[in-house]
Amino acid sequence: MKNTIRFIVLLLLFSTCAFTQYKIPQSVIGNGGTVVTNNNHRITGTVGQNLIGITSSNSFSSSAGFWYIPGRILTSIEQSASTLPLEYRLKQNYPNPFNPSTTIKFDIPQASYVTLKIYNMLGQELTELINEEKKPGAYNVTWNAFGFSSGIYFYRMTAGNFSDIKKMLLVR
């Protein structure tokens, strides 16, 4: 009987805490025991603990309770494999030497107007592979050099204030 009364009291306490908590954006849930903050809240604790730590803002402070997430249960957190690049980068083509096609990779950290052009040894522009606005991300483009003779070629990428040139070798 004592255990039943304890269970009912705990159930009532839980339901009261769950529905009287301030709404906290789901982006701050699942913090793995570290401090998470946004413009309105500071949370110290981990989802699933009876005492979640300290939740506070300019207008309130709570040091115990349960977090309530309507309609969803957080089961895991995964790190996204698609992280944005931190800097502009033009990478060496591969394969190099190549015949007849090669791949050129580059990174754009912020939206930029990008050009990627191929030049011969005399500095004459042979072809333009890219000439457009690009969103932040990692890109690759393939150049098929069918019809071009063996030799050294250069490719140049410009994006914003960034510019870089790399050398490649076509072998027939």
Distance from CA of residue 52 to its chain's centroid? 28
Q: According to the model, what pLDDT value does residue 8 have? A: 73
Instruction: State residue 1's pLDDT score.
Output: 72
Strands 101-108 and 112-119 turn out to be unpaired
Provide the pLDDT for residue 127: 97
Whole-angstrom distance, CA of residue 48 vs CA of residue 33? 11
Exposure letters 120-143 (e unless 16+ CB within 10 A, then b): eeeeeeeeeebeeebeeeebeeeb
What type of residue sits at position 31? N
> What pLDDT score was predicted for residue 166?
97
- What is the pLDDT, as a whole number, of residue 27? 47
Give Cβ neighbours of residue 7 (< 8 Å, ≥ 6 apart).
Answer: none
Gap between the Cα atoms of 154 and 168, Å rounded: 6
What structural domains does the chain harbor? Answer: 2-62 (no CATH), 89-170 (2.60.40.2550)
pLDDT in tens, the chain (172 residues): 777 777 776 666 565 554 444 455 544 444 445 555 555 555 555 444 444 455 555 555 555 554 444 555 555 555 555 678 999 999 999 999 999 999 999 999 999 999 999 999 999 999 999 999 999 999 999 999 999 999 999 999 999 999 999 999 999 8
| pLDDT score, position 80 | 55
Give the pLDDT confidence score for residue 6 in this predicted structure.
Answer: 73
pLDDT of residue 69: 47
Q: What is the pTM of this model?
A: 0.54
